[in-house]
Amino acid sequence: MEKMDLEKLYSPSMWNKRCAPTDVTTNFVKLGQDATLRARKNTRCEIDVPYGPSERTKYDIYGIDLPDESPIFVLIHGGYWQKMSKDEYAFPAETFVSQGIKFICVGYDLCPNVRLREIVSQIKTAMRKILQYASKSGSRGVWVGGHSAGAHLAASLLDSEWLQQQNSTLLKSLVLLSGIYFLEPLISTSYNEALKLESTEAELMSTLSIKLPAPVQNLKVMVVIGDCDSPAFIEQARELTKLLCSSVDDVEYKFLRSGIDHFSIIENLAHHDFPLTQKIIESINNSTV
């Protein structure tokens, strides 16, 4: 495939039908910053909880005044592993807290300052600490969401060795939103200038390469994509779903219509009446430890 074709296929902003590609990304950042500022003003929160030694290896907890046993929803931000931060991603914080769900947004170091494998390791460390926090507080469970590159990082938790080391009864679900899971096509795009992926590393870091030795039980994985996302992202979501069905007992593929694109899928989680917001909250409320 021509490099120009790959560049467009792996540029989600090119496929939205709302506005120009540059406008949709600019608006997304502004909406995320505003949502985060509102959440920090309107909810009781603890900002910049460290889980690692660097400035970005921190997470924010919203709803710290909720009961200790409250469920927790964790969100890992996107940005192609090289942009964005937790300070621009608290879209659903107020909505979830209003429903009795603590919300945690996780930051991490970015490429090219670190390699992708280091980011994956950081996310596993962050989740280990969050699960320990949940266990100590008596939480009913932890749900982990990821958007775009964050969906890849959330899916990296489907690692048999890592899962065996955690409190598996607390980790309830992965919600993978508009993710990218097979990384080799990125080698021939401009995104690889920061990622510096080579073929072997791209394969090792790809979620589509995972092979779990035994069925994963008591963990639901929801793979979500919008009808106005990139065709490449839509195809990767389908391929991941097929792969997971051979390893995970509870897998759901959700294709959102009505013009949902790569950015509106997470922007709309701020709204109570968005069907995906309702579905996630219902799933959390219906679950027990």
For residue 57, the 8-state DSSP code is: -
The runs of H, that is alpha helices, within 43-115 are 93-98
Single out the catalytic residue among 11, 60, 262, 264.
Answer: 262
Q: Is 148 a catalytic residue?
A: yes
What is the greatest pairwise CA distance in the chain? 54
Main-chain dihedrals φ then ψ at residue 60, nearest 5 degrees: -110, 140
CB atoms under 10 Å from CB of 50, counted, come to 12
Q: Tell me which residue of 75, 83, 71, 82 sits closest to 36, measured CA to CA.
A: 75
Contact by Cβ (8 Å): 157, 144: yes
How many residues make up the chain in this entry? 289
Q: How far is CA 227 from CA 177, 224, 237, 263, 278, in A?
A: 12, 10, 12, 12, 19
Contact by Cβ (8 Å): 97, 43: yes
Angle at 42 between CA 37 and CA 47, to 5 degrees: 60
Which two structure tokens, joined as six digits, stand for 284?
Answer: 């959390």
Single out the catalytic residue among 148, 156, 206, 230.
Answer: 148
**Cα–Cα distance, 90 to 9 (Å, whole number):** 27
Q: Is 229 a catalytic residue?
A: yes
What burial letters (b/e) apply to 58-70, b meaning 16+ CB within 10 Å? Answer: bbbbbbeebeeeb
Single out the catalytic residue among 156, 229, 230, 261.
Answer: 229
Q: Is 273 a catalytic residue?
A: no
Instruction: Return the residue matching tokens 């490099």.
Output: 3
Instruction: Give catalytic residue positions.
Output: 148, 229, 262
